[in-house]
Chains A and B, each alone.
Chain A
Amino acid sequence: MSLSTMLTSMGAGMLRSCLIFFLTLLFSLPLGMGVMFLRRSRIAVVQWITKIYIAIMRGTPLMLQLLMWYFGPYYIFGWSIRGYRFTAIILGFSMNYAAYFAEIYRGGIEAIPKGQYEAAEVLGYSKVQTFFKIILPQVIKTILPSITNEIITLVKDTSLAFTLAYNEMFSLAKQIAASQTSFMPFIIAGIFYFIANYVVAFVMERIEKAMNYYN
Protein backbone atom coordinates (compact mmCIF):
# COMPACT_ATOMS: atom_id res chain seq x y z
CA MET A 1 0.00 0.00 0.00
CA SER A 2 1.48 3.31 -1.04
CA LEU A 3 1.69 6.34 1.21
CA SER A 4 -0.94 8.19 -0.80
CA THR A 5 -3.41 5.27 -0.51
CA MET A 6 -2.79 5.22 3.23
CA LEU A 7 -3.40 8.96 3.47
CA THR A 8 -6.59 8.72 1.40
CA SER A 9 -8.07 5.94 3.51
CA MET A 10 -7.07 7.71 6.71
CA GLY A 11 -8.42 11.01 5.35
CA ALA A 12 -12.03 9.85 5.74
CA GLY A 13 -11.23 8.98 9.35
CA MET A 14 -9.70 12.41 9.92
CA LEU A 15 -12.96 14.03 8.79
CA ARG A 16 -14.89 11.83 11.23
CA SER A 17 -12.50 12.74 14.06
CA CYS A 18 -12.94 16.43 13.23
CA LEU A 19 -16.73 16.00 13.18
CA ILE A 20 -16.71 14.56 16.71
CA PHE A 21 -14.37 17.34 17.80
CA PHE A 22 -16.45 20.24 16.46
CA LEU A 23 -19.84 18.86 17.48
CA THR A 24 -18.57 18.14 20.99
CA LEU A 25 -17.26 21.69 21.36
CA LEU A 26 -20.47 23.10 19.91
CA PHE A 27 -22.62 21.33 22.52
CA SER A 28 -20.33 21.09 25.54
CA LEU A 29 -19.14 24.72 25.74
CA PRO A 30 -22.66 26.19 26.24
CA LEU A 31 -23.87 23.12 28.14
CA GLY A 32 -20.98 23.57 30.56
CA MET A 33 -22.22 27.10 31.19
CA GLY A 34 -25.65 25.75 32.10
CA VAL A 35 -24.15 23.11 34.38
CA MET A 36 -22.03 25.78 36.06
CA PHE A 37 -25.12 27.90 36.86
CA LEU A 38 -26.87 24.86 38.29
CA ARG A 39 -23.76 24.01 40.30
CA ARG A 40 -23.82 27.55 41.76
CA SER A 41 -27.57 27.43 42.37
CA ARG A 42 -28.81 28.58 45.75
CA ILE A 43 -31.29 25.68 45.80
CA ALA A 44 -29.48 22.95 47.71
CA VAL A 45 -31.07 20.03 45.82
CA VAL A 46 -30.10 21.42 42.42
CA GLN A 47 -26.57 22.06 43.59
CA TRP A 48 -26.39 18.59 45.04
CA ILE A 49 -27.62 16.84 41.87
CA THR A 50 -25.19 18.84 39.76
CA LYS A 51 -22.34 17.89 42.07
CA ILE A 52 -23.20 14.20 41.63
CA TYR A 53 -23.39 14.64 37.86
CA ILE A 54 -19.94 16.26 37.76
CA ALA A 55 -18.52 13.62 40.09
CA ILE A 56 -19.75 10.81 37.82
CA MET A 57 -18.61 12.48 34.60
CA ARG A 58 -15.14 13.18 35.95
CA GLY A 59 -14.84 10.08 38.06
CA THR A 60 -15.45 7.38 35.45
CA PRO A 61 -13.59 6.68 32.21
CA LEU A 62 -15.04 8.31 29.10
CA MET A 63 -14.83 4.95 27.32
CA LEU A 64 -17.18 3.44 29.90
CA GLN A 65 -19.53 6.42 29.62
CA LEU A 66 -19.70 5.97 25.84
CA LEU A 67 -20.68 2.33 26.32
CA MET A 68 -23.36 3.38 28.83
CA TRP A 69 -24.81 6.07 26.57
CA TYR A 70 -25.01 3.68 23.65
CA PHE A 71 -26.05 0.39 25.24
CA GLY A 72 -27.90 1.93 28.20
CA PRO A 73 -31.19 2.60 26.34
CA TYR A 74 -31.25 -1.00 25.15
CA TYR A 75 -30.30 -2.71 28.40
CA ILE A 76 -32.37 -0.43 30.65
CA PHE A 77 -35.46 0.29 28.53
CA GLY A 78 -35.23 -2.32 25.77
CA TRP A 79 -35.27 0.38 23.10
CA SER A 80 -33.86 -0.16 19.65
CA ILE A 81 -30.47 1.48 19.31
CA ARG A 82 -30.23 1.08 15.56
CA GLY A 83 -28.84 4.24 14.01
CA TYR A 84 -28.29 5.81 17.43
CA ARG A 85 -24.52 5.24 17.43
CA PHE A 86 -23.31 8.68 16.37
CA THR A 87 -25.81 10.47 18.61
CA ALA A 88 -24.57 8.40 21.55
CA ILE A 89 -20.97 9.32 20.78
CA ILE A 90 -21.71 13.05 20.62
CA LEU A 91 -23.94 12.79 23.70
CA GLY A 92 -21.23 10.96 25.64
CA PHE A 93 -18.47 13.36 24.65
CA SER A 94 -20.58 16.51 25.19
CA MET A 95 -21.92 15.49 28.60
CA ASN A 96 -18.42 14.53 29.74
CA TYR A 97 -16.70 17.67 28.54
CA ALA A 98 -19.55 19.88 29.80
CA ALA A 99 -18.71 18.72 33.35
CA TYR A 100 -15.08 19.74 32.95
CA PHE A 101 -15.96 23.05 31.30
CA ALA A 102 -18.51 23.79 34.05
CA GLU A 103 -15.80 23.49 36.68
CA ILE A 104 -13.44 25.68 34.66
CA TYR A 105 -16.18 28.34 34.29
CA ARG A 106 -16.94 28.14 37.99
CA GLY A 107 -13.30 28.64 38.87
CA GLY A 108 -13.23 31.70 36.62
CA ILE A 109 -16.40 33.22 38.05
CA GLU A 110 -15.47 32.62 41.66
CA ALA A 111 -12.14 34.33 41.07
CA ILE A 112 -13.93 37.64 40.36
CA PRO A 113 -13.80 39.83 43.52
CA LYS A 114 -17.07 40.76 45.17
CA GLY A 115 -16.22 44.44 44.70
CA GLN A 116 -16.93 44.14 40.98
CA TYR A 117 -20.56 43.20 41.65
CA GLU A 118 -20.91 45.98 44.20
CA ALA A 119 -19.44 48.55 41.81
CA ALA A 120 -21.79 47.39 39.03
CA GLU A 121 -24.76 47.66 41.36
CA VAL A 122 -23.75 51.19 42.35
CA LEU A 123 -23.50 52.11 38.67
CA GLY A 124 -27.06 50.88 38.17
CA TYR A 125 -26.34 47.71 36.18
CA SER A 126 -28.99 45.01 36.36
CA LYS A 127 -27.93 41.48 37.35
CA VAL A 128 -28.02 40.28 33.73
CA GLN A 129 -26.08 43.30 32.53
CA THR A 130 -23.52 42.84 35.29
CA PHE A 131 -22.99 39.23 34.28
CA PHE A 132 -22.69 39.71 30.53
CA LYS A 133 -20.96 43.10 30.42
CA ILE A 134 -18.70 43.01 33.46
CA ILE A 135 -18.17 39.50 34.80
CA LEU A 136 -18.19 37.26 31.70
CA PRO A 137 -15.51 39.17 29.70
CA GLN A 138 -13.13 38.92 32.65
CA VAL A 139 -13.97 35.27 33.22
CA ILE A 140 -13.27 34.35 29.60
CA LYS A 141 -9.91 36.05 29.83
CA THR A 142 -8.85 34.09 32.91
CA ILE A 143 -10.13 30.68 31.85
CA LEU A 144 -8.80 30.62 28.29
CA PRO A 145 -5.58 28.71 29.07
CA SER A 146 -7.53 26.01 30.93
CA ILE A 147 -10.04 25.79 28.09
CA THR A 148 -7.16 25.36 25.62
CA ASN A 149 -5.87 22.46 27.70
CA GLU A 150 -9.26 20.78 27.67
CA ILE A 151 -9.76 21.27 23.92
CA ILE A 152 -6.36 19.72 23.20
CA THR A 153 -7.31 16.73 25.32
CA LEU A 154 -10.53 16.47 23.34
CA VAL A 155 -8.64 16.24 20.05
CA LYS A 156 -6.80 13.19 21.36
CA ASP A 157 -9.87 11.72 23.07
CA THR A 158 -11.74 11.45 19.76
CA SER A 159 -9.96 8.11 19.28
CA LEU A 160 -12.19 6.69 22.05
CA ALA A 161 -15.13 6.75 19.62
CA PHE A 162 -13.82 3.44 18.23
CA THR A 163 -15.14 1.82 21.39
CA LEU A 164 -18.53 2.14 19.69
CA ALA A 165 -17.19 0.93 16.33
CA TYR A 166 -17.06 4.41 14.87
CA ASN A 167 -14.16 4.39 12.45
CA GLU A 168 -12.38 7.61 13.30
CA MET A 169 -8.83 8.24 12.19
CA PHE A 170 -6.88 6.34 14.84
CA SER A 171 -8.89 3.15 14.45
CA LEU A 172 -8.21 3.24 10.70
CA ALA A 173 -4.52 3.76 11.46
CA LYS A 174 -4.58 0.63 13.62
CA GLN A 175 -6.42 -1.36 10.96
CA ILE A 176 -4.00 -0.34 8.22
CA ALA A 177 -0.99 -0.94 10.47
CA ALA A 178 -2.26 -4.47 11.17
CA SER A 179 -3.04 -5.38 7.57
CA GLN A 180 0.16 -3.87 6.13
CA THR A 181 2.41 -4.85 9.07
CA SER A 182 3.67 -1.28 8.93
CA PHE A 183 4.33 1.38 11.54
CA MET A 184 3.73 4.20 9.04
CA PRO A 185 0.00 4.74 9.82
CA PHE A 186 0.84 5.46 13.46
CA ILE A 187 3.35 8.09 12.41
CA ILE A 188 0.75 9.67 10.12
CA ALA A 189 -1.75 9.60 12.99
CA GLY A 190 0.79 11.24 15.29
CA ILE A 191 1.45 14.00 12.77
CA PHE A 192 -2.29 14.54 12.34
CA TYR A 193 -2.90 14.94 16.07
CA PHE A 194 0.11 17.21 16.40
CA ILE A 195 -0.99 19.50 13.56
CA ALA A 196 -4.58 19.58 14.82
CA ASN A 197 -3.43 20.54 18.29
CA TYR A 198 -0.98 23.06 16.93
CA VAL A 199 -3.87 24.74 15.13
CA VAL A 200 -5.95 24.68 18.32
CA ALA A 201 -3.10 26.22 20.32
CA PHE A 202 -2.50 28.82 17.63
CA VAL A 203 -6.15 29.87 17.42
CA MET A 204 -6.49 29.97 21.20
CA GLU A 205 -3.36 32.09 21.48
CA ARG A 206 -4.85 34.51 18.97
CA ILE A 207 -8.04 34.74 21.01
CA GLU A 208 -6.04 35.28 24.19
CA LYS A 209 -4.15 38.13 22.50
CA ALA A 210 -7.39 39.68 21.29
CA MET A 211 -8.78 39.55 24.83
CA ASN A 212 -5.64 41.08 26.26
CA TYR A 213 -6.95 44.62 25.86
CA TYR A 214 -5.47 46.10 29.03
CA ASN A 215 -1.84 45.73 28.00
Chain B
Amino acid sequence: MKKNLALLLTAVLTAAAIAGCGSAAPTQGAPAPEAKEEAAEPAEEAKEEAAEEAPAEESTGAYVFLDEDLGVESYAIGFRKGDDELAEQVSGAVKALVANGTYAEIGEKYPDIKDYLCLDAADIDTASLPEEGSGDSSYTFKHGFDLDYPPYSYLQDDGTVGGFDVELCQAVCEYLGWGYEAVPFNWDAKDMELNAGSCDCIWSGFTKEGREDDYTWGLTYSNNTQGILVAADSGIKTLADLEGKIVGVQTATSAYDMLEDSQADLAATFSELRVYETYTIAFNDLKAGAIDAIAIDMTAGSFLIAGENK
Protein backbone atom coordinates (compact mmCIF):
# COMPACT_ATOMS: atom_id res chain seq x y z
CA MET B 1 0.00 0.00 0.00
CA LYS B 2 2.78 2.37 0.97
CA LYS B 3 4.46 1.52 -2.28
CA ASN B 4 1.35 2.33 -4.29
CA LEU B 5 0.99 5.61 -2.46
CA ALA B 6 4.61 6.45 -3.19
CA LEU B 7 4.24 5.65 -6.87
CA LEU B 8 1.07 7.71 -7.08
CA LEU B 9 2.70 10.70 -5.38
CA THR B 10 5.78 10.65 -7.60
CA ALA B 11 3.66 10.13 -10.70
CA VAL B 12 1.49 13.14 -9.87
CA LEU B 13 4.47 15.35 -9.12
CA THR B 14 6.39 14.27 -12.20
CA ALA B 15 3.32 14.92 -14.30
CA ALA B 16 2.99 18.36 -12.75
CA ALA B 17 6.65 19.12 -13.41
CA ILE B 18 6.39 17.95 -17.01
CA ALA B 19 3.22 19.95 -17.53
CA GLY B 20 5.03 22.97 -16.12
CA CYS B 21 7.91 22.51 -18.55
CA GLY B 22 5.62 21.81 -21.47
CA SER B 23 3.68 25.01 -21.15
CA ALA B 24 6.81 27.08 -20.72
CA ALA B 25 9.05 25.45 -23.32
CA PRO B 26 7.27 25.15 -26.63
CA THR B 27 8.82 22.22 -28.43
CA GLN B 28 7.09 22.71 -31.75
CA GLY B 29 9.02 25.84 -32.69
CA ALA B 30 12.27 24.56 -31.27
CA PRO B 31 15.19 25.41 -33.52
CA ALA B 32 17.62 22.51 -33.47
CA PRO B 33 21.19 23.61 -32.81
CA GLU B 34 22.30 22.41 -36.25
CA ALA B 35 19.83 24.85 -37.78
CA LYS B 36 22.31 27.65 -37.13
CA GLU B 37 24.96 26.12 -39.33
CA GLU B 38 22.49 25.30 -42.08
CA ALA B 39 20.97 27.88 -44.34
CA ALA B 40 18.22 30.04 -42.89
CA GLU B 41 14.55 29.52 -43.75
CA PRO B 42 13.83 30.32 -47.41
CA ALA B 43 11.73 33.40 -46.64
CA GLU B 44 14.32 34.71 -44.23
CA GLU B 45 17.08 33.98 -46.69
CA ALA B 46 15.41 36.05 -49.37
CA LYS B 47 14.99 38.91 -46.95
CA GLU B 48 18.60 38.67 -45.88
CA GLU B 49 19.89 38.63 -49.42
CA ALA B 50 17.93 41.75 -50.16
CA ALA B 51 19.37 43.52 -47.15
CA GLU B 52 22.86 42.12 -47.24
CA GLU B 53 25.20 42.78 -50.13
CA ALA B 54 27.55 39.91 -49.27
CA PRO B 55 25.60 36.92 -47.97
CA ALA B 56 28.68 34.73 -48.39
CA GLU B 57 30.24 36.51 -45.45
CA GLU B 58 27.47 35.17 -43.25
CA SER B 59 28.72 31.61 -43.32
CA THR B 60 32.16 32.50 -41.98
CA GLY B 61 30.94 32.82 -38.39
CA ALA B 62 27.78 31.84 -36.60
CA TYR B 63 27.88 35.01 -34.47
CA VAL B 64 28.47 38.58 -35.59
CA PHE B 65 28.48 42.12 -34.25
CA LEU B 66 26.00 44.64 -35.62
CA ASP B 67 27.61 47.46 -37.61
CA GLU B 68 26.06 50.03 -35.30
CA ASP B 69 27.58 50.26 -31.85
CA LEU B 70 26.36 51.52 -28.50
CA GLY B 71 29.28 53.81 -27.75
CA VAL B 72 32.99 54.03 -27.08
CA GLU B 73 34.65 53.84 -23.68
CA SER B 74 38.19 54.10 -22.41
CA TYR B 75 40.00 51.66 -20.17
CA ALA B 76 42.28 53.08 -17.54
CA ILE B 77 43.94 52.07 -14.29
CA GLY B 78 41.91 52.94 -11.19
CA PHE B 79 43.67 53.78 -7.92
CA ARG B 80 42.36 54.65 -4.49
CA LYS B 81 41.32 58.27 -4.29
CA GLY B 82 44.35 60.25 -3.17
CA ASP B 83 46.97 57.75 -4.34
CA ASP B 84 48.19 60.35 -6.86
CA GLU B 85 51.86 59.54 -6.48
CA LEU B 86 51.38 55.81 -7.13
CA ALA B 87 49.08 56.55 -10.08
CA GLU B 88 51.68 58.84 -11.58
CA GLN B 89 54.51 56.37 -11.09
CA VAL B 90 52.59 53.48 -12.68
CA SER B 91 51.33 55.65 -15.55
CA GLY B 92 54.87 56.85 -16.17
CA ALA B 93 56.10 53.26 -16.30
CA VAL B 94 53.34 52.34 -18.78
CA LYS B 95 54.43 55.27 -20.97
CA ALA B 96 58.03 54.06 -20.80
CA LEU B 97 56.85 50.59 -21.89
CA VAL B 98 55.01 52.18 -24.80
CA ALA B 99 58.16 54.04 -25.76
CA ASN B 100 60.38 50.92 -25.63
CA GLY B 101 57.90 48.80 -27.57
CA THR B 102 56.89 46.34 -24.81
CA TYR B 103 53.29 47.60 -24.90
CA ALA B 104 52.91 46.86 -28.61
CA GLU B 105 54.71 43.55 -28.15
CA ILE B 106 52.21 42.37 -25.54
CA GLY B 107 49.39 43.68 -27.75
CA GLU B 108 50.57 41.40 -30.58
CA LYS B 109 49.76 38.40 -28.39
CA TYR B 110 46.12 39.44 -28.06
CA PRO B 111 44.65 39.96 -31.54
CA ASP B 112 41.22 40.84 -30.07
CA ILE B 113 42.70 43.83 -28.26
CA LYS B 114 45.38 44.98 -30.70
CA ASP B 115 43.12 47.32 -32.66
CA TYR B 116 41.90 49.06 -29.53
CA LEU B 117 45.25 49.99 -28.03
CA CYS B 118 45.35 53.78 -28.05
CA LEU B 119 48.93 54.62 -27.09
CA ASP B 120 51.58 55.20 -29.71
CA ALA B 121 55.32 55.33 -29.08
CA ALA B 122 55.61 58.38 -31.33
CA ASP B 123 53.38 60.45 -29.01
CA ILE B 124 55.28 59.71 -25.82
CA ASP B 125 57.46 62.42 -24.35
CA THR B 126 60.31 60.38 -22.92
CA ALA B 127 61.87 63.26 -20.99
CA SER B 128 59.95 62.96 -17.71
CA LEU B 129 59.51 59.21 -17.46
CA PRO B 130 60.67 57.12 -14.48
CA GLU B 131 63.91 55.31 -15.17
CA GLU B 132 64.19 51.56 -15.34
CA GLY B 133 64.67 50.05 -11.89
CA SER B 134 63.91 53.36 -10.18
CA GLY B 135 61.23 51.85 -7.92
CA ASP B 136 61.65 50.58 -4.38
CA SER B 137 62.72 46.95 -4.84
CA SER B 138 61.21 45.91 -1.49
CA TYR B 139 57.76 47.08 -2.59
CA THR B 140 55.18 44.60 -3.93
CA PHE B 141 52.51 46.04 -6.18
CA LYS B 142 49.16 44.31 -5.69
CA HIS B 143 47.25 44.08 -8.95
CA GLY B 144 43.50 43.75 -8.43
CA PHE B 145 41.54 42.25 -11.33
CA ASP B 146 38.59 40.12 -12.36
CA LEU B 147 39.74 36.64 -13.32
CA ASP B 148 36.66 36.25 -15.51
CA TYR B 149 37.30 39.04 -17.99
CA PRO B 150 39.06 37.76 -21.07
CA PRO B 151 41.13 38.85 -22.89
CA TYR B 152 42.20 41.47 -20.34
CA SER B 153 42.58 39.17 -17.37
CA TYR B 154 41.70 35.51 -17.34
CA LEU B 155 42.85 32.00 -16.66
CA GLN B 156 45.02 30.95 -19.59
CA ASP B 157 44.85 27.58 -21.30
CA ASP B 158 47.79 26.39 -19.21
CA GLY B 159 46.04 27.32 -15.95
CA THR B 160 48.14 30.38 -15.15
CA VAL B 161 46.79 33.90 -14.67
CA GLY B 162 47.21 35.99 -17.79
CA GLY B 163 45.68 38.47 -20.18
CA PHE B 164 46.75 41.79 -21.61
CA ASP B 165 46.30 43.77 -18.39
CA VAL B 166 48.06 41.17 -16.29
CA GLU B 167 51.05 41.05 -18.63
CA LEU B 168 51.24 44.82 -18.87
CA CYS B 169 51.08 45.19 -15.09
CA GLN B 170 53.78 42.55 -14.67
CA ALA B 171 55.93 44.43 -17.18
CA VAL B 172 55.39 47.65 -15.22
CA CYS B 173 56.52 45.98 -11.99
CA GLU B 174 59.51 44.48 -13.72
CA TYR B 175 60.42 47.86 -15.21
CA LEU B 176 60.22 49.65 -11.88
CA GLY B 177 61.88 46.82 -9.97
CA TRP B 178 58.79 46.10 -7.85
CA GLY B 179 57.45 42.72 -6.85
CA TYR B 180 54.18 41.70 -8.48
CA GLU B 181 51.26 40.15 -6.65
CA ALA B 182 48.10 39.02 -8.43
CA VAL B 183 44.88 39.73 -6.50
CA PRO B 184 42.01 38.19 -8.44
CA PHE B 185 38.73 39.31 -6.90
CA ASN B 186 35.00 39.13 -7.36
CA TRP B 187 34.16 42.08 -9.59
CA ASP B 188 31.20 43.02 -7.39
CA ALA B 189 33.55 43.46 -4.46
CA LYS B 190 36.20 45.51 -6.29
CA ASP B 191 35.59 48.71 -4.32
CA MET B 192 35.71 46.92 -0.99
CA GLU B 193 38.94 45.17 -2.01
CA LEU B 194 40.52 48.44 -3.09
CA ASN B 195 39.39 50.41 -0.06
CA ALA B 196 40.39 47.64 2.31
CA GLY B 197 43.89 47.72 0.82
CA SER B 198 43.97 44.13 -0.37
CA CYS B 199 44.94 45.52 -3.78
CA ASP B 200 46.59 48.76 -4.93
CA CYS B 201 44.67 49.25 -8.14
CA ILE B 202 41.76 48.01 -10.23
CA TRP B 203 43.21 47.14 -13.59
CA SER B 204 41.16 44.76 -15.70
CA GLY B 205 39.35 46.35 -18.60
CA PHE B 206 38.19 49.00 -16.14
CA THR B 207 36.03 51.67 -17.75
CA LYS B 208 36.68 55.27 -16.79
CA GLU B 209 33.46 56.79 -18.14
CA GLY B 210 30.89 57.41 -15.45
CA ARG B 211 33.41 56.72 -12.69
CA GLU B 212 35.61 59.80 -13.18
CA ASP B 213 35.14 61.07 -9.62
CA ASP B 214 35.22 57.74 -7.81
CA TYR B 215 38.91 56.93 -8.28
CA THR B 216 42.28 58.50 -8.90
CA TRP B 217 42.83 57.57 -12.51
CA GLY B 218 46.03 56.43 -14.11
CA LEU B 219 46.75 56.34 -17.81
CA THR B 220 44.07 55.40 -20.35
CA TYR B 221 45.79 52.59 -22.24
CA SER B 222 43.01 51.12 -24.35
CA ASN B 223 39.70 52.01 -25.95
CA ASN B 224 36.81 49.74 -26.48
CA THR B 225 33.50 49.84 -28.28
CA GLN B 226 30.30 48.43 -26.87
CA GLY B 227 28.39 46.49 -29.47
CA ILE B 228 25.55 44.05 -30.00
CA LEU B 229 26.38 40.40 -30.65
CA VAL B 230 23.78 38.32 -32.53
CA ALA B 231 23.55 35.00 -34.32
CA ALA B 232 24.43 35.57 -37.98
CA ASP B 233 21.14 34.01 -39.14
CA SER B 234 18.96 35.90 -36.66
CA GLY B 235 17.85 38.52 -39.18
CA ILE B 236 18.84 41.30 -36.79
CA LYS B 237 20.87 43.84 -38.75
CA THR B 238 20.42 47.16 -36.99
CA LEU B 239 19.81 48.45 -33.50
CA ALA B 240 16.21 49.15 -34.55
CA ASP B 241 15.72 45.43 -35.27
CA LEU B 242 16.21 44.78 -31.55
CA GLU B 243 12.71 46.05 -30.87
CA GLY B 244 10.76 43.39 -28.99
CA LYS B 245 13.82 41.16 -28.62
CA ILE B 246 15.44 39.74 -25.50
CA VAL B 247 18.90 41.16 -24.94
CA GLY B 248 21.42 39.81 -22.43
CA VAL B 249 24.16 41.72 -20.62
CA GLN B 250 26.57 41.04 -17.77
CA THR B 251 25.98 42.73 -14.46
CA ALA B 252 28.27 45.62 -13.48
CA THR B 253 29.71 46.12 -16.98
CA SER B 254 29.81 49.29 -19.04
CA ALA B 255 27.46 47.73 -21.59
CA TYR B 256 24.95 47.40 -18.78
CA ASP B 257 25.58 50.97 -17.61
CA MET B 258 25.11 52.30 -21.16
CA LEU B 259 21.80 50.50 -21.56
CA GLU B 260 20.67 51.96 -18.24
CA ASP B 261 21.91 55.44 -19.01
CA SER B 262 22.97 56.81 -22.42
CA GLN B 263 21.19 54.04 -24.38
CA ALA B 264 18.15 53.78 -22.09
CA ASP B 265 15.82 54.69 -24.99
CA LEU B 266 17.14 51.76 -26.99
CA ALA B 267 16.84 49.44 -23.99
CA ALA B 268 13.21 50.51 -23.63
CA THR B 269 12.43 48.99 -27.05
CA PHE B 270 13.66 45.52 -25.96
CA SER B 271 11.04 43.09 -24.79
CA GLU B 272 13.44 42.27 -21.98
CA LEU B 273 16.92 43.18 -20.78
CA ARG B 274 18.28 40.12 -19.02
CA VAL B 275 21.15 40.62 -16.59
CA TYR B 276 23.66 37.77 -16.19
CA GLU B 277 26.33 37.02 -13.66
CA THR B 278 28.84 36.28 -16.42
CA TYR B 279 28.90 36.65 -20.20
CA THR B 280 29.71 32.95 -20.43
CA ILE B 281 26.20 32.03 -19.31
CA ALA B 282 24.69 34.76 -21.50
CA PHE B 283 26.52 33.36 -24.53
CA ASN B 284 25.25 29.86 -23.76
CA ASP B 285 21.74 31.30 -23.67
CA LEU B 286 22.32 32.98 -27.04
CA LYS B 287 23.57 29.72 -28.51
CA ALA B 288 20.53 27.91 -27.13
CA GLY B 289 18.28 30.55 -28.68
CA ALA B 290 16.81 31.63 -25.34
CA ILE B 291 17.85 35.23 -25.97
CA ASP B 292 18.28 37.16 -29.24
CA ALA B 293 21.33 39.32 -28.64
CA ILE B 294 24.08 40.22 -26.17
CA ALA B 295 25.28 43.73 -25.41
CA ILE B 296 29.03 43.35 -24.90
CA ASP B 297 32.26 45.15 -25.62
CA MET B 298 33.96 44.26 -28.90
CA THR B 299 37.07 42.67 -27.40
CA ALA B 300 35.27 40.39 -24.95
CA GLY B 301 32.70 39.58 -27.64
CA SER B 302 35.38 38.73 -30.21
CA PHE B 303 36.95 36.47 -27.62
CA LEU B 304 33.66 34.60 -27.19
CA ILE B 305 33.22 34.26 -30.95
CA ALA B 306 36.81 33.06 -31.33
CA GLY B 307 36.24 30.46 -28.61
CA GLU B 308 33.15 29.25 -30.44
CA ASN B 309 35.06 28.82 -33.70
CA LYS B 310 37.98 27.03 -32.03
Contacts and interface: CB of A to CB of B under 8 A. Distances in A.
Interface of A: 27, 30-31, 33-38, 40-43, 67, 71, 73-75, 78-87, 90-91, 94, 126-128, 131, 162-165, 167, 171, 174-175, 177-179, 181, 183
A145 B8 CA distance: 28
Interface string B244-256: 0000100110001
A175 B288 contact: no
B5 to A, nearest CB: 7
B281 A165 contact: yes
B33 interface: yes
Main secondary structure of the interface of A (DSSP, over half): helix
B6 interface: yes
B252 A178 contact: yes
A162 B277 contact: yes
Interface in B13-40: 13, 16-17, 20-21, 24-27, 29-34
A84 B9 contact: no
Given A91-B21, A131-B2, A164-B281, A82 B289 contact: yes
Contacts of A74: 33, 287-290
A163 B290 CA distance: 15
B257 interface: yes
Interface in B251-310: 251-252, 256-257, 260, 274-277, 281-282, 284-285, 287-290
Contact of B5 (A71, A82, A128): A128
13 contacts: A27-B13, A37-B2, A78-B30, A81-B290, A82-B289, A83-B290, A84-B24, A163-B277, A165-B248, A165-B275, A177-B188, A178-B191, A181-B214
Contacts of B20: 87, 90-91
A13 to B, nearest CB: 11
